[in-house]
Amino acid sequence: MGKADYYEGGDWNNVCYECGRKFKASEMRRHWQGYYVCWQHWEPRHTQDFVRPVADNVNVPWSQPETHTYVQHCTPNTVSDVPGFAEPGCMIPGFISPAFDPTIVGG
């Protein structure tokens, strides 16, 4: 027989989640994590659990979309129908420009 083994109407025996000792349910307190403990093991929730950070606004005041427009630049070498010099979109099939210079690499 323990200290909580007696009859009290509307009450029942319960075991502390922390220490495992038997108490009456009316003597137990609900812990902030949801389980019931005796008065010796009850603790309030720490105030730092409720701290919320200040929202950090990292947006710029205004912006505009980047507009990178590719302008194709055709040269006499890229227009000519010569392998290694011709560029898609510039080359004219069967044409070699009179200004074609094979010493100019890359265009």
Domain boundaries, the chain: 1-43, 71-107
pTM, entire model: 0.46
pLDDT tens across 44-57, in order?
999 999 999 998 88
Gap between the Cα atoms of 82 and 87, Å rounded: 10
d(C-alpha 36, C-alpha 27), whole Å = 10
Query: Residue 107: is its pLDDT beyond 60?
Result: no
Radius of gyration of the chain (CA): 42
Average pLDDT over residues 89-101: 84
